[in-house]
Amino acid sequence: MNNFDFHNPTRIVFGEGKIAQLDALVPSNARVMVLFGGESARSTGTLGEVTAALGKRDIHEFSDIEPNPSFETLMRAVTRVRDEKIDFLLAVGGGSVIDGTKFVAAAALFEGDEWDILLQGGGNIDKALPFGAVLTLPATGSEMNQGAVVTRKSLKTKLPFRSQHVFPKFSILDPTKTFTLPPRQVANGVVDAFVHVMEQYLTYPAQAPVQDRFSEGLLQTLIEIGPQCLAEPENYQVRASLMWTATMALNGLIGSGVPQDWATHMLGHELTALHNLDHAQTLAIVLPSMLRERKAAKQAKLVQYAERVWNMTEGSAEQKADAAIDKTQAFFESMGVKTHLADYQLGEEHIDELIDGLKKNGMNKLGENGDVTPDMCRRVLQRSL
Ligand code: NZQ
Ligand code: ZN
């Protein structure tokens, strides 16, 4: 196991009806900006519940944070936060709204060109406004971590940043708030959480049995509940498990003390930046091919994954690795998330531009061994045609 320093300060308030606790969670004299996306927060009634819970506080609203939130939109929020002297932010939505709120929280107090936050991966953030979240889409883990991803539309660039200053103060996780999700977003959430675990688990053995077994438990839970989430949209217990699994998949716990990969995510970001695919769709396209391309380096962990997650007992190490990758791809397809570029009307002719995007963003040595080059990523995309 590697050395690590694990500190997660986010309070999780979990369960039906917990939005009412906002009154106790948000400072009573706060000037609050509530940030949300398109229509869903209002039409599902969640926004109304939130404003009712905030009571007599001075409330300002900022809507229209789009999926894969853009720098351009978020800078409009930053201007309003500064002009209206907002001192507390509240995100109501999925990963895009929470990520966007993290950026606004840091950018509002940032001195200098706010795009530098992304260019330096958040290393230049030394303070941020406090904020909380009401989660409506279990997927990204943003509700309990210090990362976010922002797209600058004018540059067709999607970049991540992280900072200890952008952990949410609290996140409210009410599983009933997910009942209104369309099947596509539920499936996206299952796939995204699954790939988050894989990025931290499927590397090489690091003598970290606790992290391994936590990860295997999360993966098996997703395999078990994924289809139930689609079949029974209002099954509270199933949605509760999905919510907690997705949070646990990326709150720093399973990634402590182990090598991490993240090449699938970085290549996936290029697909979203250039072709506007959903985040989870990009992962479903890239992960199976990424594992096939890097099968030799990942063989020990692939065999462990095959045996412990998919209960495979037959065959050679290589056969188990192959079969486990096939199972992974079939699982994504069974959730309705397509795994080939052609499924999204993309082909060989789009690959050059995607690889150029990676290079432009300095993504030249990805993966747990730093050996995932743009050339290797090209082969990964060719496998996904
Ligand atoms: O815009 P509205 O109308 O609100 O609709 C949203 C949106 O269109 C809808 N939705 C959300 N909750 C709903 C609902 N519809 C009905 N009922 C509800 N309860 O869902 C759509 C997608 O929402 P979005 O927030 O974009 O999805 P997701 O949570 O998957 O977030 C994706 C973003 O998170 C980033 C991704 O790159 C992407 O930009 N990620 C953030 C991470 C992090 N902070 O750690 C890690 C991830 O790897 C990921 O990169
Ligand atoms: Zn993700």
Tell me the pLDDT tens digit for each residue of 227-237. Answer: 999 999 999 99
> Is 218 contained in some domain?
yes
pLDDT average, residue stretch 169-191: 98
> Is 234 contained in some domain?
yes
The residues whose Cβ lies within 5 A of ligand 2, an ion, are 192
146/212 same-domain check:
no
Tell me, what's the pLDDT at 2? 98
Tell me, what's the pLDDT at 292? 98
- pLDDT tens figures, 38-56: 999 999 999 999 999 999 9
Tell me, what's the pLDDT at 129? 98
> Is 63 contained in some domain?
yes
205/132 same-domain check:
no
Tell me, what's the ipTM? 0.99
107/164 same-domain check:
yes
Q: Which of 125, 159, 178 is the last residue of a domain?
A: 178
Cα 371 to averaged position of ligand 1 atoms, centre (Å)? 31
> Is 4 contained in some domain?
no
pLDDT average, residue stretch 104-121: 98
CATH number of the domain to which 126 belongs: 3.40.50.1970
The residues facing 324 across adjacent strands are none
User: Is residue 150 within 8 Å of 158, Cβ to Cβ?
Assistant: yes
Domain with 356 in it: 183-384
pLDDT average, residue stretch 131-140: 98
Tell me, what's the pLDDT at 96? 98
380/265 same-domain check:
yes
Using a 6 Å cutoff on CB, does residue 53 contact ligand 1?
Answer: no
Give per-residue burial for 185-220: e unless 16+ CB within 10 Å, then b: bbbbbbbbbbbbbbbbbbbeeeebeebbebbbbbbe
Radius of gyration of the chain (CA): 20
Cα 285 to averaged position of ligand 2 atoms, centre (Å)? 13
Pick the residue whose CA is nearest to atom 2 on ligand 1: 38
Q: Which of 63, 136, 185, 335 to mutate to test the pocket of ligand 1 (most atoms within 8 A of CB)?
A: 185
Q: Which of 143, 178, 213 is the last residue of a domain?
A: 178
β-strands 147-152, 157-162 pairing? antiparallel
252/367 same-domain check:
yes
353/218 same-domain check:
yes
Pick the residue whose CA is nearest to atom 20 on ligand 1: 185
Six-digit token string for 107: 């950018």
Instruction: Please state, in angstroms and rounded to a whole number, the distance separating the CA atoms of residues 33 and 36.
Output: 10
158/212 same-domain check:
no
Cα 137 to averaged position of ligand 1 atoms, centre (Å)? 6
pLDDT average, residue stretch 69-92: 98
192/331 same-domain check:
yes
Confidence of residue 311 (pLDDT cuts 50, 70, 90): very high
Confidence of residue 62 (pLDDT cuts 50, 70, 90): very high
> Is 235 contained in some domain?
yes
25/150 same-domain check:
yes
Question: Across the chain, what does the average pLDDT equal?
Answer: 98
| pTM: predicted TM-score of the whole model, two decimal places | 0.98
156/191 same-domain check:
no
Using a 6 Å cutoff on CB, does residue 177 contact ligand 1?
Answer: yes
Pick the residue whose CA is nearest to atom 22 on ligand 1: 67
CATH number of the domain to which 271 belongs: 1.20.1090.10
- pLDDT tens figures, 347-364: 999 999 999 999 999 999
Q: Number of helices (H) and strands (E) in the chain: give both, helices first.
A: 15, 8
